[in-house]
Amino acid sequence: MVKVYIDGQEGTTGLKITERFEGRNDIEVIRISEEKRKDSFERARLINSADYVFLCLPDEASREAVSFVDNDHVRIIDASTAHRTNPNWAYGFPELSAEHRQKIAASNRVAVPGCYASGFASIVYPLVKNNIIPDDYPVFAYATSGYSGAGKKAIAVYESDEKPYEFNSPRQYAMSQQHKHLPEMQAVSGLKYKPMFNPIVCDYFSGMVVSVPIQSRTLANSVTAERIHEMYKKHYEGANMVEVMPLMSADEQKSFFLASNTLSGLNKLQVFVFGNDEQILLCARLDNLGKGASGAAVQCLNIMMGIDETTGLM
């Protein structure tokens, strides 16, 4: 039985990770007492007594927690943004490539992807890797998301009886193009330049869709919706948590609505190809608390432990 400590166990991601360990007899979760949650000495003691440590913390607190490690056998899985572009850390999205999976399995330091970045990379990484788009392509992405990823304070506002009127509407944010996931989205996907990104938070709890439009006239003549769909099917062949959805006909698309909350509570990501050969719309649907956070973290743990990656997730 392996010992697991969750630093930040009372946060949204920490609570979800704890839920995913219920019923597992191969995990012993080490808990910190409520009065010592911010006690650095107690946190350091528990971190070094564990086999695996999840960091569900703000960036600076995450860096501090890593500095506490003085036991070479402690393996860290960080759910903050602090280490996602650090080449010394494995990037925790195993389906992106065999190399990503191998690095996760062998590493003592794994950075769990951000929720928006997971959807974005699932679409854009294969496009660049398979030479569908060049690495200097001017990528634009937009996304709709539930409010669960906004943190405890925002969740409290959304669920309050005194919720402001404008919270009933989808709200665009990060207008300055400085969203914290942008460096990760660029680096992981292999882009020379940061993409433009337009996130939109909506009045439902969890789930998201990340969308990337492609104008085929800006690319080689051989780029079609069907070719991109076949590429995704080959790229994600055999994946347990990523599913490439069937290509729809024009008539089927006319009556289809893509909801953002369909995978809420699940640990899957679905890839869609819409549009036509002139204007192609690529979409990734996932739960921002599942494959976009806690589910991805537990999947990485399973891979690091050398067991079935779906344990506790399916």
Contact 179, 115 (CB under 8 A): no
Choose among 258, 271, 263: nearest CA to 291: 263
Edge-to-edge strand list for the sheet holding 2-7: 27-30, 2-7, 52-55, 75-78, 109-111, 90-91
What distance in Å separates the CA atoms of residue 110 and residue 117, rounded to the nearest whole number?
15
Contacts of 6 (CB under 8 A, 6+ apart): 14, 17, 18, 29, 53, 54, 56
Active-site residue (options: 56, 115, 283, 300)? 115
Query: d(Cα 43, Cα 238) in Å, to the nearest integer?
Result: 39
312: which 2 tokens? 């506790």
Q: How far from 309 is each of 54, 95, 188, 253, 304, CA to CA, in Å?
A: 17, 11, 22, 34, 9
d(Cα 243, Cα 287) in Å, to the nearest integer? 14
Q: Is the dihedral of CA 129, 134, 136, 137 positive or negative?
A: negative
**Residue 182 φ then ψ, to 5°:** -60, -45
Mapping DSSP to helix (H, G, I), strand (E, B) and coil, where does residue 52 land?
strand
Where would I find the H helices in the chain? Answer: 12-20, 40-49, 59-67, 98-106, 115-129, 152-158, 182-189, 225-235, 250-254, 295-305
Is 56 one of the annotated active-site residues of the chain?
no
Residues identified as active-site = 115
